[in-house]
Structure 1
């Protein structure tokens, strides 16, 4: 499909081979901890490269997509932050079903806002709630739902002194406008996650990115395993992440497995 494994391997090797000073290692560890927190006060621009294979009734379809996911925290009061998380998918897919051919372009954008207290709870938990909005921005009929959608989103998590991060993120989207000829949307997204810091900005993680389609009464449940490292490219702080996923549950025509590489630009407060 494309030379996806070469940049993956090159960046992974680069991230493993970086030698950090003690000061940089400490800074990298702090950034890695914030990256494991979806509502941390850290401006970042993740670019998530995904490849799924085994799609369609004959298992011969595939999809490559890049999610550009800027995260922008804003202090709105002495006690509260607002965190904007946007997902902009750029998709290339082939043979999703017999006769479908190939499509390339922009998918539907998902915009989420989390309102989160700056202080932790007495037990060390942090949380955020807010709205999520689905925008019908797809440039091809087969790349989007052609529906406006919205609903609530929330996240809760805890980070321990021993380097563990665990919690869950979720949302529910209902369609409320759009093309009457397209199916309505009622979908719940649940993402429990667990990660462990290995020191020097390195992290291993596992998550389930499960979606339940209430209209089709169908789960899609991929499990993702990943390894990441905070590093530098010149003066720019970045994070590399590589991983694989396997679909524990999917529609008959859904994907069977996939790979992921994420390159994230980091902009910590100075």
Structure 2
């Protein structure tokens, strides 16, 4: 199961660039329509989880739980967004199904927010870094990695919002006896508002490991609910995802992505 463990670690590193689910407090569209903008100009804290019900070539299950914090900041006249993500990884490490659980590798990215001339269209680009903070060897890469993140979010329509997140990173330091890291991911996402804060969603991650040519291409459809309480906007969602193409052991055959995103006005 060591190969499966390495695959899940790779997926976890890529997962740190997932859509956060913040709301954008500008433009003419409401917060429900904007509740999944990854470049929101607001402080947010997210609790998100991937329950992986079946890993390819193993018939074992795994789990990834994410703590995510995001906050905007300014450098001179430029606007940026910082986001930090810390996973708790749990997955089998032997054919008998023995499970290892521990804190994984910390990922931080900063994204420069371009002035698109349209408050409903967000575009960001910036660097990311992953630090080997895992509490167990089996739940982290033991490598320092760095790369780039690019995000587009279009909310011109109050009914339908869409965009993508593109991520790449490569290891540059760390334990010599561990495999190098070079990972790429493309995440298309779409959200359809049903009214009353309820929406349909699809936000799978298509991941590619450039070190061993393994990949995972899931598709998913889920639902979410946005509601306000005081100065906090809550976004609850669940999205089952199923693999339509994959290569290599330890890829998610099916998984359930769910979470609670909170933004603070």
Matches within 5 A, 1:106-125: 106-117=103-114, 119-121=115-117, 125=121
Question: Does residue 64 in structure 1 map to residue 63 in structure 2?
Answer: yes
The whole-number CA distance in structure 2 between the counterparts of 1:159 and 1:233 is: 23
Q: Tell me the CA shift for residue 222 of structure 1.
A: 2.1
The 1:232/1:166 distance shift into structure 2, 3 A limit, reads closer
Q: 2:242 aligns with which of 235, 243, 246?
A: 246
The 1:123/1:31 distance shift into structure 2, 3 A limit, reads closer
CA contact (8 A) 1:52 1:259 kept: yes
Local SS of the residue matching 1:88: strand
CA contact (8 A) 1:168 1:190 kept: yes
Local SS of the residue matching 1:64: strand
Name the residue aligned to 1:16: none
Name the residue aligned to 2:10: none
The 1:183/1:37 distance shift into structure 2, 3 A limit, reads same
The whole-number CA distance in structure 2 between the counterparts of 1:135 and 1:191 is: 22
Q: TM-score, normalising length from structure 2?
A: 0.81
Name the residue aligned to 2:203: 207
The whole-number CA distance in structure 1 between the counterparts of 2:200 and 2:76 is: 34
Q: Tell me the CA shift for residue 161 of structure 1.
A: 2.7
The 1:184/1:100 distance shift into structure 2, 3 A limit, reads farther
CA contact (8 A) 1:34 1:41 kept: no
The whole-number CA distance in structure 1 between the counterparts of 2:135 and 2:63 is: 16
The 1:159/1:77 distance shift into structure 2, 3 A limit, reads farther
Local SS of the residue matching 2:61: strand
Q: Tell me the CA shift for residue 254 of structure 1.
A: 2.1
Name the residue aligned to 1:128: 124
Name the residue aligned to 1:86: 84
User: Which string of whole-angstrom CA distances, capped at 9 and with x for unpartnered residues, describes residues 53-108 of structure 1?
Assistant: 2226331x211221111121124445x32111222101222x34415621111011
Larger relative CO (CA 8 A, sep 6+): 1 or 2?
Answer: 2
User: Which string of whole-angstrom CA distances, capped at 9 and with x for unpartnered residues, describes residues 160-191 of structure 1?
Assistant: 23422111111111100000001111111111
CA contact (8 A) 2:47 2:260 kept: yes
Question: Does residue 105 in structure 1 map to residue 105 in structure 2?
Answer: no
The whole-number CA distance in structure 1 between the counterparts of 2:189 and 2:162 is: 6
The whole-number CA distance in structure 2 between the counterparts of 1:127 and 1:106 is: 31
The whole-number CA distance in structure 1 between the counterparts of 2:76 and 2:168 is: 27
The whole-number CA distance in structure 2 between the counterparts of 1:155 and 1:237 is: 22
The 1:231/1:123 distance shift into structure 2, 3 A limit, reads closer
Runs (5+) with no aligned partner, structure 2: 1-28
Q: Tell me the CA shift for residue 235 of structure 1.
A: 6.7
Larger radius of gyration: 1
Local SS of the residue matching 1:142: helix
Structure that is richer in helix per residue: 1
Runs (5+) with no aligned partner, structure 1: 1-28
Q: TM-score, normalising length from structure 1?
A: 0.80
The whole-number CA distance in structure 2 between the counterparts of 1:182 and 1:163 is: 47
Q: Tell me the CA shift for residue 257 of structure 1.
A: 0.6
CA contact (8 A) 1:56 1:97 kept: no
Q: Tell me the CA shift for residue 122 of structure 1.
A: 6.0
The whole-number CA distance in structure 2 between the counterparts of 1:33 and 1:198 is: 10
Name the residue aligned to 1:24: none
RMSD: 2.2
Q: Tell me the CA shift for residue 249 of structure 1.
A: 2.5
Name the residue aligned to 1:145: 141
